[in-house]
């Protein structure tokens, strides 16, 4: 397994960066790991981006919540892009500042999706480590990260950064029959 030419990092989404995002959608990538292989979803995302780029960027930055919220009891979401100089995927850190809990109905504090042509080269691990640093800088001491039981690649990534299995079971954000592994990742001081 060879690593990337330039170390991947997480960066703020911009209108300029949406070109790579659009290309990835056109190649069948899904920004939502729960929707991988869902051609209708990917086509709808691509059509929405092409119809209104600024509106699509606004949706990335503010759904399920904005990166800043005046009320510490309301959720925040830091939506970021994974980049090695070109678009490589999407990553999110979501939490409620007052409690450090993940927002209700959202599958964990962290979400990430690496484009298929860059998988297996350390991008998800680098993105997760960068999200962990961001979380630590926001005062979080641990993260809950979920992945599908059959997602061996994500399981390896989460365990590589110290993820400990808490339990296995469904999550309300997905189909009832979809088993998830609930991991805890301690961030330390």
CATH code for the domain of 52: 3.40.630
Per the structure, the count of domains in the chain is: 1
27 pLDDT band, cuts 50/70/90, is very high
Whether 100 is covered by a domain: the verdict is yes
Evaluate the CA torsion angle 135, 138, 66, 52 in order and state its sign: negative
Classify residue 161: in a domain, yes or no. Answer: no
- Measured at the CA of 61, the angle between CA 79 and CA 82, to 5 degrees, comes to 35
152 inside domain: no
pLDDT at 25: 97
Kindly state the tokens that stand for 65. Answer: 């919540």
Question: Could you tell me the pLDDT band of residue 3, with boundaries at 50, 70 and 90?
Answer: low
* Average pLDDT of the residues of the chain: 93
- pLDDT per residue as tens digits for the range 6-26: 889 999 999 999 999 999 999
The 10s digit of each residue's pLDDT in 70-120 is 899 999 999 999 999 999 999 999 999 999 999 888 889 999 999 999 999
Confidence of residue 2 (pLDDT cuts 50, 70, 90): low
**Domain assignment present for 151:** no
Cα 146–Cα 131–Cα 37 angle in degrees, nearest 5: 50
179 falls within a domain? no
Confidence of residue 64 (pLDDT cuts 50, 70, 90): confident
For residue 176, tell me if it sits in a domain: no
Residue 73 lies in a domain: yes
For the chain, the residue count is 189
Q: Judge contact between 144 and 175, C-beta under 8 A.
A: no
Q: Which residues lie closer than 8 Å to 123 by C-beta, 6 or more apart?
A: 4, 8, 82, 84, 88, 89, 114
Quote the pLDDT of residue 41.
96
Segments forming the whole domain that contains residue 88 = 9-140
The label of the residue with tokens 């990742």 reads 185
pLDDT value at residue 49: 97
Residue 122 lies in a domain: yes
pLDDT(160) > 90: yes
Using CA atoms, how far apart are residues 111 and 108, in angstroms rounded to an integer? Answer: 7
pLDDT by residue (tens digit) across 113-131? 999 999 999 999 999 999 9
- Confidence band of 30 (pLDDT split at 50, 70, 90): very high
Whole-angstrom Cα distance, residue 11 to residue 119?
Answer: 18
């Amino acid at each position: 397994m060879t690593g990337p030419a330039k170390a991947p990092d997480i960066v703020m989404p911009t209108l300029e960066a949406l070109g790579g995002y659009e290309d990835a959608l056109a190649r069948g990538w899904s920004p939502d790991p729960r929707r991988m292989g869902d051609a209708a979803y990917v086509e709808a995302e691509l059509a929405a981006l092409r119809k209104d780029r600024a509106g699509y960027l606004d949706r990335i930055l503010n759904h399920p919540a904005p990166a800043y919220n005046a009320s510490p009891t309301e959720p925040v979401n830091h939506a970021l892009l994974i980049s090695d100089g070109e678009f490589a995927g999407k990553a999110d850190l979501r939490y409620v500042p007052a409690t450090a809990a993940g927002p209700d109905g959202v599958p964990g504090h962290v979400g990430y999706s690496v484009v298929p042509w860059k998988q297996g080269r350390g991008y998800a691990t680098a993105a997760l480590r960068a999200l962990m640093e961001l979380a630590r800088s926001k005062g979080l001491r641990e993260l809950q990260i979920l992945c599908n039981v059959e997602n061996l690649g994500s399981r390896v990534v989460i365990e590589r950064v110290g993820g400990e299995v808490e339990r296995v079971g469904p999550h309300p954000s997905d189909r009832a029959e979809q088993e998830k592994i609930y991991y805890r990742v301690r961030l330390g001081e």
